[in-house]
Amino acid sequence: MQKVETISSERSAKFFRAILDNIGWLILVVCIIVFSSTIDGYSSAQNYINIIHHSVFIGILAIAECFCLISGKIDLSIESIAAFSAIFSAWLCGTSTFASGYLVNPFVGLLIVIIAGTLIGLFNALLIVKLRIDAFLVTLSTYLIFRGVATFVTGGKGVAGIPDSFRMIDTIRPANIPLVVILMFILYIIFQTILTNTKYGKHLFIIGGNESAAYNFGINVSKVIFITFVVSGALSAVSGWLIVARASGATPAIAQGYLFEVLAAVVIGGVSLQGGVGSLVGVFAGVLILGSIHTALNLLAISPFLTEIIRGLLVLVAILLDNIKKRFR
């Protein structure tokens, strides 16, 4: 077997690969520079903290989606599990007309929706693993079902009257940094460590890269997929609960469109839609890019109806990036 000589074309290929792998951070820097120079009040510490604060919901959902995608599967139901959890939490804890009236403690509510999210994730996993149905199809169904459940349960109305103890979660700022931002940082650190330093994380990459090799070498593929989708459900539930703290209530349309933002964020962040590639470091950049663009649009008072178009364009950019990377390999 010959010694490999690194010829200059191979070295430049490595260079381009490195750029493409970290393109998320590059784009983020470009965005910040552009927005800071064209929008008043953009480049302030307060604004940057606001950007991250607004990104928390997408950020947490993105962790779940990143794990699913790396294993070669996709979870389309994250948005609906979040929406369902939001409505459910509001219904449990709220005081308005359409709330349950049980006035459940917000943290008990959190526990309840996490269990609910876990069960929905379990349902997804069962169909994917035991019945061997494509993850896309299974989670597409749950995406539709649970969006429907959220609407049905409240009869299409919203729930409000969230107690202060709940709203506080979003407003509290230890050391002037929002608690939820700290929470998001902690979650990213924990999950990135799991991804890169645990056996489970390694198995995610193996299954996403070559599922038959995973099987040949004795990896319990079913168990890994089960864990992934159950955790995805739980994280989506947490995200939904946090949305209620911010919005002080929930309507059936809550979290609408989050799925596409998450997909845009993870793909810009370097996660391959084919599986086997991805890192939460890149995803964090992707999430921040989306947050920066949102904030810029807000500050420029762009019509909210334009948001859908821009979101779609972002997803398109993300898909094109994924395609370019594939060609480069």
Partner 1 sequence: MIYSDNKKVVLRAEHISKSFGSVQALKDVSFDIFDDEIVGLVGDNGAGKSTLIKILSGNFPPDEGSIFLEGHKVNFKSPIESRKMSIETVYQDLSLCENLDSISNLFIGREVCKNIIGFNMLQKRTMEKRTLETMAKIDINLPSVKERVEFLSGGQRQAVSLGRFVAWGQKMALLDEPTAALGVRETRKVLDLITKIREEKKISIILISHNLQQVFEVVDRIIVLRLGQVIGVRERRSTTADEIVSLITGAVFVNNKN
7 belongs to the binding site for partner 1 (CB under 8 A):
no
Per-residue binding letters, 244-283, with partner 1 (x by CB under 8 A): --------------------------------xx------
**CA dihedral for 143, 145, 151, 154, sign (positive or negative):** negative
Q: Which two tokens stand for residue 140?
A: 């597409």
Quick check: 92 binds partner 1 (CB under 8 A)? no
Q: Using CB under 8 A, count the residues that bind partner 1.
A: 27
Can you tell me the distance from the alpha carbon of 134 to that of 68, in angstroms, rounded to the nearest whole number?
Answer: 13
- Only one of the segments 145-153, 178-186, 217-225, 251-259 lies at the binding site for partner 1 (rule: CB under 8 A); that segment is 217-225
Evaluated on CA atoms 291, 293, 296, 298, the torsion sign reads: negative
The span from the CA of 171 to the CA of 156, in Å, is: 28
Torsion-angle region of residue 149: left (phi > 0), alpha (psi -120 to 50) or beta? alpha
> How far is it, in rounded angstroms, from Cα 138 to Cα 132?
10
Under rule CB under 8 A, residue 329 binds partner 1 = yes
> Which residue in the set 218, 301, 305, 327 belongs to the binding site for partner 1 (CB under 8 A)?
218
Check residue 9 for interaction with partner 1 (CB under 8 A): no
Stretch that binds partner 1, among 210-218, 222-230, 299-307, 312-320 (CB under 8 A): 210-218
For residue 260, give every residue at least 6 positions away whose Cβ sits within 8 Å of its Cβ, in sequence order, or none. Answer: 311, 312, 315
- Two tokens, residue 280: 């939460």
Single out the residue of 213, 306, 320, 324 in contact with partner 1 (rule: CB under 8 A). Answer: 213
Q: Counting contacts by CB under 8 A, is residue 327 touching partner 1? A: no
Q: Which long-range contacts (CB under 8 A, 24 or more apart) does 31-39 make?
A: 31/289, 31/292, 31/293, 31/296, 32/292, 35/292, 35/295, 35/296, 39/296, 39/299, 39/300
Q: DSSP letter for 5, please.
A: P
In whole angstroms, the minimum distance from the beta carbon of 192 to partner 1 comes to 13
Cβ proximity to partner 1: between 137 and 213 the closer is 213
| Rounded least distance, CB 210 to partner 1, Å | 5
219 binds partner 1 (CB under 8 A): yes
Q: Is 215 in the site for partner 1 (CB under 8 A)?
A: yes
Q: Does 130 bind partner 1 (CB under 8 A)?
A: no
Binder to partner 1 among 206, 254, 290, 318 (CB under 8 A)?
206
316 membership: H or E segment, kind and range: helix 306-328
Is residue 212 close enough to count as binding partner 1 by CB under 8 A? Answer: yes
Cα-Cα-Cα-Cα dihedral sign, residues 62, 65, 70, 71: positive
Query: Which CB sits closer to partner 1, 218 or 304?
Result: 218
Q: DSSP class of residue 75?
A: -
Q: Determine, following the binding rule CB under 8 A, whether residue 194 of this chain makes contact with partner 1.
A: yes
- CB nearer to partner 1: give 108 or 213: 213
Ramachandran bin of 223, using left for φ above 0, alpha for ψ from -120 to 50, beta for the remaining angles:
alpha
Identify which of 83, 79, 31 has the alpha carbon closest to the alpha carbon of residue 260. 79
- Binding part of the chain for partner 1, among 94-102, 124-132, 153-161, 212-220 by CB under 8 A, reads 212-220
Give the residue, chosen from 23, 69, 82, 214, that forms a contact with partner 1 under the rule CB under 8 A: 214
Does 209 sit near partner 1 (CB under 8 A)?
yes
Residues that bind partner 1 (CB under 8 A): 1-4, 6, 194, 197-200, 202, 205-206, 208-210, 212-219, 276-277, 329
